[in-house]
Amino acid sequence: MLVHHLYSGGKDSSLAAWILTRLGYEVKLVTVSFGLLDNWRFARETAERLGFEHQVLYLPREVLEKAAEIAIEDGRPNNAIQFIHEKALEALASLPEVGRVSDGTRRDDRVPLLDLSKARSLEDRFGVAYIRPLLGLGYKTIRELTERLFIVEIRESEELEKADYEVELRHIMREKGLDPLEIFPKRHYQSRVLGWREKGI
């Protein structure tokens, strides 16, 4: 029972990966890249520390270009992040070896998050199961599980140490001569999983 799990190296996608192993699934972590930067390496490093297999899924630069257009049009990044996540799930689900896709999206997330009809549509169009281990968990439950499981480093934001979509999205906006700070809210702290606190898999 192999699952391909979209992975950023953050707490949520790490917790979701752990839950999948606890349910008996074999888990392959997959980090999306548009090939502009190599920030996927932060996800790989965390994946290796946690003992998971890891691969990079390259998406076409046009997807990122389109996302940047959406973010500029909207003046905020939410719909752009949602757009990239849907394209990432579709690209992963369309691979012939993939029968189950997963991610770390949460009940309390606004984006990225597929509503019920989009989730079913993903499953139906690509013949996959779509598993979201965190969807039924609130922030208290996620916090108590991550605190038990992971050693987490919290530090002031340094953009390049993350492997989420936002990093390349900011990058392409700077390439276009735009200031990402006009669109992205300023975040002071971010967290990164460094390893297991108690041996998890």
Interacting residues with its own copies (CB under 8 A): 1, 19, 22-24, 100, 107-108, 116, 119-120, 123, 129-138, 140-141, 144-145, 148
Of 1 and 181, nearer to its own copies (C-beta) is 1
- The residue among 108, 107, 200 whose CA lies nearest residue 151 is 200
Residues in the chain: 201
Min dist CB 99 to its own copies, Å, is: 9
Min dist CB 129 to its own copies, Å, is: 4
Of 119 and 194, nearer to its own copies (C-beta) is 119
Min dist CB 185 to its own copies, Å, is: 21
Min dist CB 131 to its own copies, Å, is: 5
Q: What CA–CA distance (Å, rounded) separates 110 from 189?
A: 19
Min dist CB 86 to its own copies, Å, is: 16
Q: How many CB atoms lie within 10 A of CB 113?
A: 17
Identify residue 144 by its one-letter amino acid code. Answer: E
Min dist CB 138 to its own copies, Å, is: 6
Cβ pair 71, 77 in contact under 8 A:
yes
Q: Which residues contact 62 (CB under 8 A, 6 or more apart)?
A: none
Q: Where are the alpha helices (DSSP H) in 57-176?
A: 61-74, 78-93, 116-126, 139-149, 165-175
Q: 176 by DSSP, 3-state: which? A: coil
Take residue 47 and report the two structure tokens written for it. 């994946």
Of 83 and 130, nearer to its own copies (C-beta) is 130
Of 56 and 95, nearer to its own copies (C-beta) is 95
Take residue 111 and report the two structure tokens written for it. 């984006």
Of 106 and 192, nearer to its own copies (C-beta) is 106
Of 47 and 128, nearer to its own copies (C-beta) is 128
Take residue 16 and report the two structure tokens written for it. 């979701």
